[in-house]
Amino acid sequence: MPEQLRDDGDVDPMTTVSGPSTAPIRIVCVDDHAIVRYGVALIINRQPEMILIGSAATGEEAVALFEREHPDIVLMDLRLRTMSGLDAIKAIRALDPQARIIVLTMHDGDEHIYRALAAGAAAYLLKDTLADDLVRVVREVHTGLAPPMEADVQAKLAEREGQPELSPRELEVIQFLAEGKRNKEIAQTLEISQETVQVHLKKIYAKLHVSDRTAALSVAVRRGIVLLD
């Protein structure tokens, strides 16, 4: 059931404001922080033509909620427990290739942005976005428009275009580094030699413009190349 969030006033933020008789834009919010879901409910339900019909705290809940309610718009955070927001986007788009998903997150790494848009997100907003801009983007995405990207988001994407991409195997290796695995453990997991692991690491360092594993992890986390629990 969609969670009900109530403040100390007389108005339930999860209850839509009376408006025109036309069908409202039906929205769900996916975020693992209750206070964010509450704030989004306040913003959305103050719009006469919008209603927040439900919210979810995990990727799995988001997919199930979408399948049950078929909302017009999904507001999706990327950092969620268990199933990530990125995986939830992919799962929802697999259910409905026309699903309209707006990422609303604090993560501004170029790889975060690129992967979300590549997975099918219609727009990418940071959580410092003004309420009026969030509402505007919801309206634009609902009508099928491609809203202009925020300047910071566009700059990060432009910066990524000049960066060499890590291969699938290199991505595996650096993700294992982020999980604290040593070269020997990585070699055993991937069934390769430690010398091959070292070759992959050297290529990773070169592509990330660093000289050691600590710096490589710092860059990879900042850019969103690897995910930390």
Report the percentage of the chain scoring pLDDT > 70.
90
Side chain identity, residue 157: L
* 10, pLDDT greater than 70: no
Positive/negative CA dihedral, 39, 45, 49, 51: positive
β-strands 123-126, 73-76: how paired?
unpaired
201: CB partners within 8 A, 6+ apart: 173, 183, 213, 216
Q: Domain residues of the chain, as ranges?
A: 25-160, 168-223
CA pair distance 16, 47, nearest whole angstrom: 8
Q: Classify residue 125 by its DSSP letter.
A: E
CA pair distance 107, 14, nearest whole angstrom: 26
Report the percentage of the chain scoring pLDDT > 90.
77
* 228, pLDDT greater than 80: no
* pLDDT band for position 150 (cuts 50, 70, 90): confident
Helices 34-45 and 131-142 pack at an angle, to 10 degrees, of 70
The pLDDT value recorded for residue 145 is 86
Q: What is the mean pLDDT of residues 112-138?
A: 95
* 1, pLDDT greater than 50: no
Side chain identity, residue 43: I
* 199, pLDDT greater than 60: yes
Contact 29, 75 (CB under 8 A): yes
Cα–chain center distance at 17: 28
* 8, pLDDT greater than 60: no
* pLDDT band for position 229 (cuts 50, 70, 90): low
50: CB partners within 8 A, 6+ apart: 16, 24, 25, 27, 44, 135, 138
The pLDDT value recorded for residue 30 is 98
Side chain identity, residue 23: A
Contact 102, 40 (CB under 8 A): no
The pLDDT value recorded for residue 22 is 80
Cα–chain center distance at 163: 21
Nearest to 106 by CA among 85, 90, 122: 85
Q: What is the mean pLDDT of residues 172-182?
A: 94
pTM: 0.82
Looking at domain 168-223, which CATH architecture does it have?
Orthogonal Bundle (1.10)
Q: What is the mean pLDDT of residues 120-129?
A: 95
What average pLDDT does the structure give for the chain?
A: 90
* pLDDT band for position 186 (cuts 50, 70, 90): very high
CA pair distance 54, 67, nearest whole angstrom: 12
Residue with tokens 């979408």: 66
Give the phi and the psi of residue 52 in degrees, each rounded to 5: -85, 110
* 52, pLDDT greater than 60: yes
CATH code of the domain made up of 25-160: 3.40.50.2300
Q: Give the number of other Cβ atoms within 10 Å of residue 205's Cβ.
A: 16
